[in-house]
Structure 1
């Protein structure tokens, strides 16, 4: 007999109701978008009558999540940039010069005078010693500066390759360190670009790595590609300040020559610092994840020669004081100076994991783009073209809807109408899920929705055809419906799981529009299976319990 437990019925209708509620704001896109923008401005800048009025355009108790529109629907700018990763090698070598010089000065009685050669090849540091007989001792001293490569692919390797001939020592990065440096340079560039783009409040920008040294940047809602290039070319402000005191009072008033900055990680922690920085990010050459003397993750940093002198003098005079690193007016770390730090390099230790030390190193380097970016491709997509895409997608969805609804109603009668109700709920749940997870809808994503509409009734077709067959042999319509669902289930699962696996592969291996298509297709498969197996069946059961027909026609 057809039986569905009461708790299952409540759960099925609750899922449908939740889907409708989360999808509902998309029917009033402009109003909800204005409401969300106003709430964000009130939180960031404070309330004003205009902002409160804008926030009142949508009820606060209603869900306000929207399906974000991608670049091809909203319009905006598209850039493909190539990062000149080799530029970083020269900066790394400049940073090593002070340590190499100091190491050789300690054995001056063996190597003589030390001189850096200005005509060294790109990415190399060449040093001449006046006593060639001390070359082996010099090589040993410089090789002692090498550190393990801080990456999983460089386990067991060191970061420097040191060689010498005829009194000239050549220092270069090892292949493993170059690979790790390239990866960190791209990650740093991604972090800087994302921070720059987020400042203008754009929705769901696409900023992702492509290949070994390229970055794809797509920002919906921005005016032009030139505007985007200017935006990501600006430099984040990184400064180092003496800490006057630390407080949890957000309303603390700084004294003359002081400023207040909030902690980046802890919202209720603030630092009163001297407004004039000791150093700026322009003096920072490098920051890398490393390990301290106890083998715990830490962050090593290096200044240029001028910054090294200033930093060494300050730390010598202020042992025991807190020293804050400030990025875009937020304190990312404020360690205590335990001893004078000379030589232009130091180490930040704390309760770090490998991941957090890597992230902190990226933030420390995020004061400026690490290398020049060459823009290989740039496009500006106007909002008119995006609106045309939306209209085209809407027409495609309507045509698909009408065709599928008409086919099901004409082919299966009342049962087809039940399937159509489930199809409408399927689309509502699909949009509800996309809104809840903050997904970005692109033109290929609309194609995935249209395909989902066509595929959504496949399961119902299998069930209804099976019920037709069972009506010829089963004892009564109730048993035919029950057997129809039981025996069609395996075919429904097999047919949909293969398509879902395809969607997963597209999402894992694809990028940009391909992923947008995969997301809508994958979610659409899950919602269509749910509505076909549970929702349509529940509607049929409720109708059957009410009408108690002796015969049925499918």
Structure 2
């Protein structure tokens, strides 16, 4: 009646062993480390390791050995004070290298080879950096106006409608025509193509003007789209630099919060977050002399003077393709010269324009302009953001064949420069520049204090539940305690395997789950006692207790699980952390309370045919 087949016991044992194995990495903790990586395309070598070792040893800082981890050298320390001193020392003494403080799990190699990893810790537990970014909505509106002006011009040219002028004044676009017929054609065309504009006309003498007004609703939509695109771009960029479980969310109408757990050196993160880089592919002016233009300071009409590594270059103002038409970008090497390059893939529109240009310009030169807009600070008088615009030609190469959607951009100097450019292009351009208006670093010491308090709360809660169950239900209480302990182990294992991020609210979810997990056992044990009072046999009471309590347990846990799923779907960072631990805890507690505890009861009491009493 109360027996499991051997395979079921073995399966339960296998699940418990697997859970214990993958929960194990969390007991090893983390150590503070300093990562050293080259600024330029210089590999970290054994000589670099020896130099780092000598500097740290001479300074009397206790540390583990220096090892190579990927493209960086990593030095592990026993305390945060030594880590900070070592970073200051290496930053001062090591020229040509970047240094960053971080935390690294102490998982043994054999366990890591089996796929074991510790739980990701949130900003409140691990420490890290917090940025508050402000989106320049004025620039977003200006970008949209430039795009509308360019698109209106292209539409009129395509339909062969000649215009006399086109310009913006405040939020109103004016397009002038020479005849009433041209104006009428343009009104029908622009009303259909540009729904964000409210169209009207103004005729005065021989002036026939179309007026397109950006309404308040359209302006709000532009700002909303800019914020949404910036959120998406920032998420892509943060994913590219490999930060585990970042928090990126909007705050109000113009601001974005970015939290990067584990990052303690903010320089690299800031360079990625507020960078606005894009490429423009332009024809080289083959007819005019770039040196003469540089000497006179005047470029010919239709061309712009640039510099490629100090050498003047004249490029046509016509843009063949831009970074906005880019689908993918990967750092690679040029097959002919072996120099660093970025392999580029364009969308259909960009590919068509590139194909048309290269087909007619084999043997001519094409320039690649890298454009960066670097935010500085707000003007104290106007309150507007100030920028430094950097434009340079990174390549001015000869077109040796016809190509369209796939080709390489060379002339980047170092492999690191190629990787950074590929990252920015791949992640996408910001719809509008952002400025970091608030920056906070949460030290790992504060995070460790939060961890200690969170672990203590789990331990106290678990201990109180174990004592109560043992006192009130005796032998069955001991069985429930074993199941409850296994439940905590399985919950930690699942959080580790799924790569979930543990935060303070997540620890609260674990504490709540510990309290809730015993509910199922209480329902089962009370049902068994009720069956015994009604005169049922002991074996029959055990079977009925588990069978009849199952539907009640399932109903209670499924409704709680639904609530947890809703919290995860609609909540933000901390709420999601609570929902994840609660969801996993519900599933593991049902398994341990119903399956594991039943297996233990069956092992103890199931083989006794004439069982007269049980300790419950």
TM-score (norm 2): 0.63
2-side partners of 1:406 and 1:29: how far apart?
A: 28
Identify the residue that residue 525 of structure 1 maps to in structure 2.
586
Does residue 139 (structure 1) correspond to residue 187 (structure 2)? The answer is yes
1:353-364 aligned within 5 A = none
Does residue 83 (structure 1) correspond to residue 135 (structure 2)? The answer is yes
2-side partners of 1:159 and 1:281: how far apart?
A: 31
Identify the residue that residue 262 of structure 2 maps to in structure 1.
221
Does residue 233 (structure 1) correspond to residue 322 (structure 2)? The answer is no
Which residue of 562, 584, 591 maps to 1:501? 562
Identify the residue that residue 243 of structure 2 maps to in structure 1.
202
Asked if 2 retains the 8 angstrom alpha-carbon contact of 1:456 and 1:525, the reply is yes
Identify the residue that residue 170 of structure 2 maps to in structure 1.
121
2-side partners of 1:129 and 1:364: how far apart?
A: 39
Asked if 2 retains the 8 angstrom alpha-carbon contact of 1:79 and 1:377, the reply is yes
2-side partners of 1:80 and 1:106: how far apart?
A: 44
1:35-46 aligned within 5 A = none
Structure 1 residue 551: deviation in Å? 1.8
Distance 1:510 1:10, change over 3 A: same
> Which deviates further from its counterpart, 437-446 or 491-500?
491-500
Which residue of 453, 459, 467 maps to 1:392? 453
SS across alignment from 2:481 = helix
1-side partners of 2:277 and 2:245: how far apart?
A: 21
1:408-423 aligned within 5 A = 408-423=469-484
2-side partners of 1:137 and 1:403: how far apart?
A: 81
Structure 1 residue 511: deviation in Å? 0.8
Identify the residue that residue 505 of structure 2 maps to in structure 1.
444
SS across alignment from 2:335 = coil
Asked if 1 retains the 8 angstrom alpha-carbon contact of 2:272 and 2:424, the reply is no
Structure 1 residue 90: deviation in Å? 2.3
SS across alignment from 2:68 = helix
1:50-449 aligned within 5 A = 50-51=67-68, 57-59=108-110, 60-85=112-137, 87-101=139-153, 104=156, 114-117=164-167, 120-122=169-171, 124-131=172-179, 134-143=182-191, 146=193, 158=195, 161-166=198-203, 167-171=208-212, 182=223, 184-198=225-239, 200-209=241-250, 214-223=255-264, 229=270, 231-236=272-277, 238=279, 240=281, 254-256=335-337, 259-261=340-342, 278-280=367-369, 282=371, 324=407, 329=418, 366=427, 368-373=429-434, 378-449=439-510
Asked if 1 retains the 8 angstrom alpha-carbon contact of 2:343 and 2:408, the reply is no
Structure 1 residue 504: deviation in Å? 1.8
TM-score (norm 1): 0.70
Asked if 2 retains the 8 angstrom alpha-carbon contact of 1:239 and 1:325, the reply is no
Identify the residue that residue 11 of structure 1 maps to in structure 2.
11
2-side partners of 1:261 and 1:11: how far apart?
A: 51
Does residue 551 (structure 1) correspond to residue 613 (structure 2)? The answer is yes
Asked if 1 retains the 8 angstrom alpha-carbon contact of 2:278 and 2:425, the reply is no
2-side partners of 1:135 and 1:496: how far apart?
A: 68
1-side partners of 2:424 and 2:198: how far apart?
A: 28
Structure 1 residue 466: deviation in Å? 1.4
> Which deviates further from its counterpart, 208-217 or 530-539?
208-217
Asked if 1 retains the 8 angstrom alpha-carbon contact of 2:334 and 2:408, the reply is no
Structure 1 residue 374: deviation in Å? 5.5
> Which deviates further from its counterpart, 130-139 or 522-531?
130-139
Asked if 1 retains the 8 angstrom alpha-carbon contact of 2:333 and 2:340, the reply is no
Kindly report the root-mean-square deviation, in angstroms, between the aligned alpha carbons of the 2 structures: 4.5
- What's the CA shift string for 1:96-153, capped at 9, x where partnerless? 4345345556899x86x612335x114x432233556742233245456x27xxxxxx
SS across alignment from 1:50 = strand
2-side partners of 1:58 and 1:319: how far apart?
A: 50
1-side partners of 2:340 and 2:584: how far apart?
A: 49
- What's the CA shift string for 1:150-171, capped at 9, x where partnerless? xxxxxxxx56554332333234
Task: Report the count of equivalent residues.
Answer: 461
Asked if 2 retains the 8 angstrom alpha-carbon contact of 1:188 and 1:365, the reply is no
2-side partners of 1:432 and 1:478: how far apart?
A: 34
Q: Which structure is higher in strand share?
A: 2
Structure 1 residue 515: deviation in Å? 1.2
1-side partners of 2:4 and 2:587: how far apart?
A: 21
Structure 1 residue 28: deviation in Å? 1.3
Asked if 2 retains the 8 angstrom alpha-carbon contact of 1:82 and 1:376, the reply is yes
Asked if 2 retains the 8 angstrom alpha-carbon contact of 1:401 and 1:453, the reply is yes
